[in-house]
Structure 1
Amino acid sequence: MKKAFVAFILLIFISTSRAAKVTDWLDSYNVLWTSQSKGSYDSMPCGGGDIGLNVWVENNELLFYISRSGSLDENNCLLKSGRIRVKLTPNPFINSGFSQQLNLRKGFVDVNAGNTNIRLWVNVFSPVIHVDINSKEKLSAEVYYENWRYKDRPVRKGEGNANSYKWAIPKGLVTKADVIENSTDKVIFYHKNDAQTVFDVTVAQQGMDSVKSKMYNPIGNLTSGGMLFGDNLKFAGTSSGEYAGTDYKSWCMKSVKPSSSHHVLIALHTQQTESLNQWKQGLADIVKGIKSNDDKKRTQAWWNSFWNKSAIRINEKNKDSEAWKIGRNYQLFRYMLGCNAYGSYPTKFNGGLFTFDPARVDSTLNFTPDFRKWGGGTMTAQNQRLVYFPMLKSGDFDMMTSQFDFYLRILKNAELRSKVYWNHEGGCFTEQIENFGLPNPSEYGWKRPANFDKGLEYNAWLEYQWDTVLEFCNMILETKEYNNEKIDKYVPLIESVLTFFDEHYRMLATQRGRKVLDGDGHLVLYPGSACETYKMAYNSTSTISALTVVLEKMIEYSAADSTKSARWKQMLSTIPPITIREENGKKMIAPAKLWERINNIESPQLYPVFPWRVYGVGKKDLDVAVNTYFSDSDALKFRSHIGWKQDNIFAACLGLTKEAQRLTSLKMKDSELRFPTFWGPGYDWTPDHNWGGSGMIGLQEMLMQTNGEQILLFPAWPAEWNVHFKMHAPKNTTVEAELKDGKVTSLQVYPAERMKDVVIMIKK
């Protein structure tokens, strides 16, 4: 790798002031359709705050699905709030010009037909959806609230994958009916969970009844729903129908009189309360607080600020190039993440807020629109991390707290697991974890040997996989490094996780013999797991890397507290080194010291490259990691760009420009569906958010990496791709740079004193 030149050269325009508004260029990335859609799979995302809409026009009618973060039922399925259908008379969609456009700058979707405009937008700061209809002629409007949960629906074979029961559906399991109430001027709809839910079933299954009263339970007595109303609407009756193979019932609100403008609103509310009246009062308060004009201005200002934080624009003058589409898709997917900026739950890796009728993803899964694979309230850390890591460089620190708070809420339950099962301290977080901190019950295993350790998942993929939570601990610490975020409330989480590893593996050692450490004074991390792939591992490389990096950062964080600092230094001294092996004369990183079998297709031998950054551009022994990338037989066999695969990230972090370019081009190209970033299903579901997240990370790493104080620009960037980017780096640093024809033409760094740390690296 060549360091072509450093920051101070005449070709670079240096400015110490913040960059000009990024939104000056944003409109070129708006998605425009000039024909109607064939179904919900042809939909366009729209959203804000914690609400996502799938918007499409089909058979001359406007439709959209409504999803809201945290709308979980008694089985822990993430429910859609319903579907809205809008019919206009006279119908402007008949024999008129048509367009549908996502306006990224302002966060709304415009649908135009003839002289009529329909604008959909969501208030970022309050859970309210607005549908503004304006026309040059007077129109009558019919707005239908459509609901397929108007009755109890038996959960069919295969359908349990949408909830916490997965493939082990109890006999007679149903999704309970919603309640829909109408009056003259509104339709109210809600799903109220009973006090008894899958939480209670799981607690009993996993032997935690003795501490149940102390446990956090997020779904008992949870009510989610909302209200449909409008300035010129009154209730006009009910009807029934079928869409995409699912029957539904509809409640119609009709305009009192024809008008050239109609304003339709849907207010949503989610609350955990035994009293339905409390929920209704909370909904009424939301409705009372609506100030449409002010809300629109504030929402558009938020989106403008969002776009000004970060951007990657590639080959702007060549919109037909694949490279331009990669840049556009980076923006589009970031928009989708922004729609759940402030959700009560993290953006789900398996579709986020934008899933649609499932039969279009898999024709054998002809279920309701609520369906998605891999659960609703179940979180899979290995996938979720890829959704949130790119937010560091994009500067979306405010959006990361939903993921951090998820773990903080369930910390007590994770600590109770360790106490009940093993009588030691520390929070035990598993993979495939429920939103109440216990393992998913079906992944935990319903048919378990009576003498099997109740703290373990009886599962060939997941057994002994404790270390994935450490990536979120690291992410928390990195928000402090990047933006000096106040992380005090999360420190007990990190400390508890580290305590678990120290105490648990000392305990396991005492069960095997007299000594708690090996002959070198190190913990024996056995049994363990290197991702879900190398099972029954001894000294897993992914675990060693994770513990080493998090401990080093906690030592630095705790520098002012000598007691805590000494504690973490002592623990760090017990972490074994990463195992290096040699094949055909080449040194490579091993996935573990030993293992019993291979169960999946991940490459934990490259986790010291990402996410742990032990190896990388400018770091020592880079050749060992590069050898691993190119010569490890398993890593080669598992290589792919699909879904959660992160080979594009590995290549970028190792400065392998051609590989990074190839894999990123495959990962970030247009999806097979109409909306370019509805990727998937990959290994999960559509839209596949860890597909998009891993694509974002790889692209960011191609452009900018850090090594200690150094800010490395273009470490894996092809010189033939022109680019203008703005990203964030540690120490509250913002970097904006432009590369044209292989030369840096502008560079702006804030604060100015960080300019001395910039190193520009362009391969010739």
Structure 2
Amino acid sequence: MTKILFLLSMLFCGTAFAQADPSYNIVWHSPSDHAGASMPCGGGDIGMNVWVEKGELLIYAARSGSFDEHNGLMKAGRLRIRLTPNPFEGEDFRQELHLQEGYVSISGKHKGTQATVQIWADVHQPVAHISIKSNQQIKVDAGYESWRYRDRAVASRENFGNSWKWAAPKNNIIRKDSVTFEKGGVLFVHHNSDSTIFDATVAQQQLQPVKDSLYNPLKKLAFGGLFYGDAFIPSGTYEGVYANTDFKGWRLISKQAAKSHQLHLALHTAQTNDVSAWRQTLQKLTVTDKRSATLNRQWWQAFWQRSFIEIDPGKKDSTAWQVGRNYQLFRYMLACNAYGNWPTKFNGGLLTVDPVYTDTAMKLTPDYRNWGGGLHTMQNQRLVYFPMIRSGDWDMMQAHFEFYYRIQRTAELRSKVYWNHDGACFTEQMENFGLPNFAEYGQKRPAGYDPGMEFNAWLEYEWDTVLEFCLMMLERQRYTGKLDPRTIPFIESCLQFFDEHYQYLARKRGSKALDGNGKLVLYPGSAAETYKMAYNASSTIAALTTVTKGLVNVLANDTARLKWQQFLQRIPPIAYTQIDGHTTIAPAKSWERINNVESPQLYPVFPWGMYGVGKPGLDTALNTWHQDTSVIKFRSHVGWKQDNIWAARLGLREEAWRLTALKLQNSSRRFPAFWGPGFDWAPDHNWGGSGMIGLQEMLLQTDGDRILLFPGWPGDKDVHFKLHAPRQTTVEATLKDGKVVYLQVEPATEAHRVEVMLK
């Protein structure tokens, strides 16, 4: 591999533009058969699935944070719109996702009637808009449809969509919403009771003495909204069945035929004892700023100028071109929750539909998704958020940082109540209120079993995924120069847990808190969910080492810096092993069983960056990739698998491209970025996120202050990209026919850090 340090003056040839390529817009020339063939649309924290079926426009809407008593993430409902005369019953049809401006348009022509519908969600406030324009006067029939119009018994499997999973109480009920005609529209609201699954979980996990100090986002939570139109009036109700689920509809009709109609969906979520207060705030959202459409499009244009990747432009529909296009499409899907109070969920985000279109056996309501709504699985969530670093989407990352800040006190109370030591104990699967999942905690626990532990073969002793979000917080400081004042105490609390807890466990076994070399004994531990009852798991050691070094670098207080430098000395070394005469990274010093199909022996490569292109020990990491039989056996592109990322960081250009292309090629669904279900659900957001990370790592990696371009990129693929690097730096480059023809580094004073690495 040849390293060349390029001078910018030699590379300013040609012109590049930062934008969403118009050819990446998704265009359909025929209606869809069902919701599974829908198109995403969204913004702010509203996600919608849009499709036309049998001449009717249908929209599923969802908003971040709409959790019911069982902690399911509930949809806002379904909209059904019919035009008369109907332009969508003819053969002239077009549905398009306009990436650059962030909206969906649908147009049709039938027997002289032409109409275009535009659907978009306001980035700046939780309101979605539907604008209808036609060449002649038409009438509009608009229905709000709810399957929660009645109390509904929860099917056994359906509890996997909330936080009960297999441990739900008998005769579990999803309480009905209140739906009424009001203020010229349809007002709908679900108001949680005082008692929720939070209360059952606290009691189960023996935390009643500190219950009042625990964060509870479910109590008295009200979510819902108002569906209304300019010059629309109520027109009764109707009933029906869609995709095996019965529903009730509330109909609005236009007062008169016209060439222009406007419909709106305002959504509001808040904890309140008084629903009338919730209604008052909702009402304020119905006052629309005339500038909102313009401001919205400006936001989307600025969003695409932050970052992009375009591959083999001009070779439309080739696999390479699809990979670049689908990268952009998935980034758009992530931006549908740019400003939510809650993170984007790995298992579909806000864009799930009737489960029967993911698994034909799942004849359940549209609220269902596998692996819960308020339950967050951090091994999956991290892959949704890591790509936002290189794309510069720090505003989109904030929701997950806030998620952790809110529950820090709960995590610290767990340590204090159960073990009487300090530090924040975060588990791998974790509710939005910070406790382990009710079912995964274990229903048949042995007498005297540690109440702070999950009695669970997959999740026991797996505590280190929070450190990946600590890394993201530290990366924000490296990339932007900004440090949230909550970050340092948060990271310190996370590290303190490992220091104090493993000394606590060692003292329970014997008289010494450290081993003979003065190191922590990280036992029992867990290398991801795979290598269980591990002794000194390499993934945990790499995490502790990298995060602690990052913390030391940002500390201004000498006393604090010394404290964590001393902690660094207590972290044990990574274990190695020999395979056919080759030194490889071991998953741990020892382990008792293999429980899953992950390869944590490569976590020191990603996410922890201890090995990689241009770094010492690359041969050891390569040996691990090539020689470890479990690594080879588990290798895949499906779902949350991250082999493509490791290949890129190891400089394995062809393998990185092969695996990343498999991830980001067109999905089996009509919308090309609706991958999955993989191991989880559809659309599989950790499938898309790991694909994004791999593609970014092929193009740009960093090693300290060094910026490495094309360290994992095959030279036969043309590419134009803009990505972010530390020290408030962006790099835009074009590679054509194996040569760099354009390179711009902002600010220009950082150009000396760039090294172009091509075969």
Give TM class, smaller chain: over 0.9
Q: Give secondary structure in 2 for the equivalent of 1:411.
A: helix
Q: Distance in 2 between matches of 1:388 and 1:723?
A: 24
Superimposed CA distance per residue, residues 307-353 of structure 1 (whole angstroms, 9 cap, x where no aligned partner): 00001000001113100000000000000001100111100000001
Tell me the residue number matched to 2:2.
2
Superimposed CA distance per residue, residues 518-566 of structure 1 (whole angstroms, 9 cap, x where no aligned partner): 11110000000000000000000010000000000111111x2011101
Q: Does 1:374 align with 2:380?
A: no
Tell me the residue number matched to 2:99.
104
Q: Distance in 2 between matches of 1:616 and 1:486?
A: 27
Tell me the residue number matched to 2:696.
700
Deviation at 1:184, TM superposition (A): 6.2
Q: Give secondary structure in 2 for the equivalent of 1:79.
A: coil
1:275-286 aligned at under 5 Å gives the runs 275-286=274-285
Question: Pick from 38, 41, 49: which aligns with 2:44?
Answer: 49
Q: Distance in 2 between matches of 1:480 and 1:297?
A: 32
Tell me the residue number matched to 2:433.
436
1:565-644 aligned at under 5 Å gives the runs 565-644=561-640
Deviation at 1:6, TM superposition (A): 2.5
Deviation at 1:21, TM superposition (A): 4.4
Q: Distance in 1 between matches of 2:752 and 2:520?
A: 41
Q: Does 1:172 align with 2:171?
A: yes
Q: Distance in 2 between matches of 1:9 and 1:118?
A: 47
AA in 1 matched with 2:331: R
Tell me the residue number matched to 2:705.
709
Q: Distance in 1 between matches of 2:701 and 2:488?
A: 26
Q: Distance in 2 between matches of 1:277 and 1:54?
A: 30
1:737-748 aligned at under 5 Å gives the runs 737-748=733-744
Q: Distance in 2 between matches of 1:705 and 1:760?
A: 11
AA in 2 matched with 1:721: K
Contact 1:11/1:746 (<8 A) preserved: no
Question: Pick from 653, 663, 682: which aligns with 1:657?
Answer: 653
Aligned length: 755
Q: Distance in 2 between matches of 1:501 and 1:267?
A: 45
CA pair 731-14 structure 1, distance change in 2 beyond 3 A: farther
Q: Distance in 2 between matches of 1:6 and 1:556?
A: 27
Superimposed CA distance per residue, residues 247-289 of structure 1 (whole angstroms, 9 cap, x where no aligned partner): 000000001000000000110000101111111111112223x
Question: Pick from 44, 55, 58: which aligns with 2:53?
Answer: 58
Deviation at 1:183, TM superposition (A): 3.3
TM normalised by structure 2 equals 0.98
Question: Pick from 453, 456, 461: which aligns with 2:458?
Answer: 461
Superimposed CA distance per residue, residues 351-402 of structure 1 (whole angstroms, 9 cap, x where no aligned partner): 0010011011111110000000000000000000000000010010111010
Q: Distance in 2 between matches of 1:67 and 1:51?
A: 6
Identify which range, 370-379 or 483-492, moves more after superposition. Answer: 483-492
Deviation at 1:168, TM superposition (A): 1.5
AA in 1 matched with 2:248: K
Tell me the residue number matched to 1:113.
108
Contact 1:477/1:487 (<8 A) preserved: no
Tell me the residue number matched to 1:322.
319
Q: Give secondary structure in 2 for the equivalent of 1:443.
A: coil
AA in 2 matched with 1:237: G
AA in 1 matched with 2:26: V
Identify which range, 432-441 or 182-191, moves more after superposition. Answer: 182-191
Q: Give secondary structure in 2 for the equivalent of 1:410.
A: helix
Q: Give secondary structure in 1 for the equivalent of 2:550.
A: helix
Q: Distance in 1 between matches of 2:665 and 2:528?
A: 27
Q: Does 1:516 align with 2:516?
A: no
Deviation at 1:752, TM superposition (A): 1.1
1:238-253 aligned at under 5 Å gives the runs 238-253=237-252
Deviation at 1:96, TM superposition (A): 4.6
Superimposed CA distance per residue, residues 647-666 of structure 1 (whole angstroms, 9 cap, x where no aligned partner): 00000000000110110111
Q: Does 1:231 align with 2:230?
A: yes
AA in 1 matched with 2:212: S
Contact 1:40/1:357 (<8 A) preserved: yes
Superimposed CA distance per residue, residues 629-670 of structure 1 (whole angstroms, 9 cap, x where no aligned partner): 111010001000000000000000000001101101111110
CA pair 9-335 structure 1, distance change in 2 beyond 3 A: closer
Contact 1:11/1:744 (<8 A) preserved: no
AA in 1 matched with 2:241: E
Q: Distance in 1 between matches of 2:176 and 2:643?
A: 44
Tell me the residue number matched to 2:264.
265
Superimposed CA distance per residue, residues 663-722 of structure 1 (whole angstroms, 9 cap, x where no aligned partner): 011111100000000000000000000000000000000001011211100001011100
AA in 2 matched with 1:587: T
Question: Pick from 23, 34, 37: which aligns with 2:32?
Answer: 37
Over the aligned positions, Cα root-mean-square deviation in angstroms equals 1.1
Deviation at 1:10, TM superposition (A): 7.6
Tell me the residue number matched to 2:273.
274
Q: Distance in 1 between matches of 2:182 and 2:280?
A: 16
% identical equivalent positions: 55
AA in 1 matched with 2:258: S
Q: Distance in 2 between matches of 1:397 and 1:475?
A: 10
Deviation at 1:93, TM superposition (A): 1.1
Q: Does 1:669 align with 2:665?
A: yes
1:127-526 aligned at under 5 Å gives the runs 127-183=126-182, 185-288=184-287, 290-291=288-289, 293-526=290-523
Q: Distance in 1 between matches of 2:183 and 2:311?
A: 53
Contact 2:8/2:744 (<8 A) preserved: no
Q: Give secondary structure in 1 for the equivalent of 2:241.
A: strand
Q: Distance in 2 between matches of 1:689 and 1:520?
A: 43
AA in 2 matched with 1:584: D
Deviation at 1:162, TM superposition (A): 0.3
CA pair 184-439 structure 1, distance change in 2 beyond 3 A: closer
Deviation at 1:606, TM superposition (A): 0.1
Question: Pick from 546, 551, 554: which aligns with 2:551?
Answer: 554
Q: Which runs of 5+ in 1 are unaligned?
A: none
Q: Give secondary structure in 2 for the equivalent of 1:576.
A: coil
Deviation at 1:754, TM superposition (A): 1.3
AA in 1 matched with 2:601: Q
Deviation at 1:86, TM superposition (A): 0.1
Contact 2:376/2:430 (<8 A) preserved: yes
Question: Pick from 643, 650, 659: which aligns with 1:647?
Answer: 643
Contact 1:528/1:540 (<8 A) preserved: yes
Q: Distance in 2 between matches of 1:45 and 1:484?
A: 34
Deviation at 1:487, TM superposition (A): 1.8
Q: Distance in 1 between matches of 2:549 and 2:571?
A: 11
Q: Which runs of 4+ in 1 moved over 3 A?
A: none
Contact 2:54/2:89 (<8 A) preserved: no
Deviation at 1:491, TM superposition (A): 2.1
Q: Distance in 2 between matches of 1:575 and 1:486?
A: 26
Contact 2:13/2:741 (<8 A) preserved: no
Q: Does 1:90 align with 2:85?
A: yes
Deviation at 1:485, TM superposition (A): 2.4
Q: Give secondary structure in 1 for the equivalent of 2:150.
A: coil
Contact 1:120/1:129 (<8 A) preserved: yes
Deviation at 1:730, TM superposition (A): 0.4
Q: Distance in 1 between matches of 2:7 and 2:182?
A: 70
Q: Give secondary structure in 2 for the equivalent of 1:642.
A: coil
